[in-house]
Amino acid sequence: MISKECFEQTTTSLASLGKTELKKRIKNFQGRFRLDFTDTYLENLSADRLRHILLAALINAKSPPG
């Protein structure tokens, strides 16, 4: 699990990103797992939903496996 401070910093950082940057970060995500979304799917999501996807990926990427 990530620390409270790291979580708060990550959420604050994501809150300032626009839809274009969020889509870019999701498409270029480098973690223990791959995110595989089509451009069309991402384009049809709200910025809040994109933030949710990216935040979930970042939290899971920082958590120890198992």
What local confidence, expressed as pLDDT, does residue 46 receive? 97
Q: What burial class does residue 58 get, using C-beta atoms within 10 Å of its C-beta: 0-12 exposed, 13-18 middle, 19+ buried?
A: buried
Q: What is the pTM of this model?
A: 0.83
Please, which pLDDT band fits residue 1 given cuts at 50, 70 and 90? low
> Over the stretch 19-28, which tens digit does the pLDDT of each residue have?
999 999 999 9
**First CA to last CA distance, the chain:** 11
> Over the stretch 2-58, which tens digit does the pLDDT of each residue have?
677 778 888 889 999 999 999 999 999 998 888 999 999 999 999 999 999 999 999
